[in-house]
Amino acid sequence: MHKKLLITSLSLIFSGLILTGCNDSDHNDTAQNNVPAEKSKPNVLFIMADDLGYSDIGAFGGEIHTPNLDALASNGRLLTDYHTAPTCSPTRSQLISGTDHHQAGIGAMAELTPSHLKGQPGYEGYLNERSLSLAEVLHDQGYRTYISGKWHLGLTPETNAHVKGFDRSFTLLQGFDLHYKQAPVGYKRNATYTEDGQTVAVADLPDDYFSTNYYTDKLLQYLESGKNTKQPFFAYAAYTAPHWPIQAPKEFSDRYKGVYDAGYDAIRNARIAKQKQLGILPVNFTPANPVDTQNAPAKSGKWHELSMEQKAREARNMEVYAGMVENLDYNIGRIIQYLKASGQYENTLIFFVSDNGAEGSSGSANAGAQPDNSLTGLGTANSYTFIGPRWAEVSAAPFHLWKNTAGEGGTTAPAIVKLPGQTRTETIHHGFASVLDVFPTVLDYAGITVPKDQYKGRQINNPSGYSWKSVLENKSASIRPVDFTFADELHGSKYAKQGEWKIALQGKTELGTGSWELYNLKNDRGETINLADQYPEQVAKLAEVYRQYTVKNGVLEYKQ
């Protein structure tokens, strides 16, 4: 009966998507530049969610109510094979610089860089001087440039977004913070906010502060402040939702009461069925197998292994997570409605992506904290929880593993692109794409040549991505050449791809075999059958691809 009720409720949610949103902004001071804009140059809105899984939003098969993103998808194009780095700051460095994160200075996350790598070239822990900033290039060519949200690319004034080409900036410098101004009892907060390079104390945030709402408020202020300059804008909405701790306004999370009572498998299967119906997956796609209980973080059990109390807590955690995602969608709707009301929407190139796969870790607040993680407390300012590995497997459906791994579930993210003036759905693009490609794509649409070798007298790392323009305009079928190679490494997790083949080695041995695994992505993108023993020559070929990648990008061996 539970399963029938779940399917009925999911069907109602899927079929009941409607466009919502509003606009709400304050005026701010004028932009710093008054360079006349060419009419042909589009505005650019880049929206990045934090730890949002592949299947969370409606357009990618999820049951969470995301009408604004679904409407964006219906007027744009889905990219179903869009790849990121395995975690947040490496991905964000690739977005801003257009180069591999080892070149950009985030060879490992600053917080997780072992002593033997600290200070090595490419492991500075911040966006280094060799990294060209997309915002800097656009600013120099007459764009208004704004960021609101997570920076995570440097803690010092010299590495702040304010000096990386952004005219206006409100930024969280660390990788995460609480989503409310209030904190759990005893919680030691370690968060730094800056506006235009100047520190903003947490105490100075409004009492009704909620991260996603406030980041949107700021971005709307910045957009409003410069709308009469006739310059195009580059606006980076760098949200921290739905990154842990899982917190959401009650009016959003309570909409999902009972939706997740049926458990992990029922929700995951419903999402995968919807993905096949939408054409995101082929009908014969074999999804990844859930990780065995003994290998999962904190030995997280499968649904049938949980007590009734554990099931209730798990279901409520996911209700709160869904509320975070719906609140994110609501705020994206606010931006879109503002652009429409101000006459800027038609000439705006819009991207929506996540910075990596779903968060699969399972942790707790810092020592001494006393969060209220009771059923009634979950999701409030006093709580501190994660969705954990089992809901992460749902979030990452249909792929293997989650954030900070070499599995497809860690590096594949949802992606939507809407061109200026586009009003209808374009054919889903199933070919490989990367966050590295955003840099050249934006410059291509802005009519700006991608800088190479030097910029304003300094040596730079050359951006390495490919523009999507020809694919987005239906002038070519693929972004990259036939038989291209691609590889990455982070915190000891490694992979390399060429053609239909992929090798992967998980940094945490309990999540893999401890050696190179081989998968045929054409037939098994769910990574269910390891073919390494059957095709050792293919493993050797891809191992050489990976070796060449490490030499080219200065990748050093990660040892904890």
CA–CA dist 238, 51 (Å, integer): 12
Cis-peptide into 440, omega within 30 deg: no
Look up tokens 């009925």; give the residue: 8
The active-site residue, picked from 65, 88, 139, 491, is 88
DSSP strands (E only) in 204-309 = 233-238
CA of 269: how far to CAs of 7, 396, 404, in Å?
A: 10, 12, 24
Q: Say how many Å lie between the first and final Cα of the chain, rounded.
A: 48
Structure tokens at 24: 């709400």
Give Cβ neighbours of residue 115 (< 8 Å, ≥ 6 apart).
none
Pull the structure tokens for residue 115.
């002593």
Adjacent-strand bridge partners of 497 = 486, 502
Task: Tell me whether residue 313 is exposed, middle or buried, using C-beta atoms within 10 angstroms of its C-beta: 0 to 12, 13 to 18, 19 or more.
Answer: middle
- Residue 386: HSE in the Cβ half-sphere, 13 Å Cα cutoff: 17
Task: Give the helix/strand (H/E) hosting 412.
Answer: strand 412-418
In angstroms, rounded to a whole number, what is the distance separating the alpha carbons of residues 386 and 245?
6
Instruction: Select which of 65, 101, 139, 152 is catalytic.
Output: 152
Whole-Å CA distances, 150 to 12, 170, 245, 442: 34, 9, 15, 20
Nearest to 135 by CA among 29, 216, 243, 32: 32
Asked if 31 and 233 touch (Cβ cutoff 8 Å), the reply is: no
Question: Is residue 22 annotated as part of the catalytic site, yes or no?
Answer: no
Q: Tokens 């692109």 appear where?
A: 417
> Residue 436: helix, strand or coil by DSSP?
helix
Evaluate whether 229 touches 139 at the Cβ level (below 8 Å).
no
Cα–Cα distance measured from residue 202 to residue 205, given in angstroms and rounded to the nearest whole number: 5
Rounded CA gap, 334 and 217, in Å?
9
**Who contacts 511 (Cβ-Cβ below 8 Å, separation ≥6)?**
291, 295, 401, 405, 407
Query: Residue 483's CB: how many other CB atoms inside 10 A?
Result: 8
- Residue 88: active-site member: yes
Residue 139's CB is within 10 A of a number of other CB atoms, namely 21
Question: What CA–CA distance (Å, rounded) separates 174 from 107?
Answer: 17
Spatial CA neighbour of 264 closest among 401, 390, 410, 398: 390
CA-nearest of 498, 318, 527, 511 to 412 is 527
Two tokens, residue 109: 């996350």
Integer Cα distance of 261 and 471 in angstroms: 42
Q: So which residues are the catalytic ones?
A: 88, 152
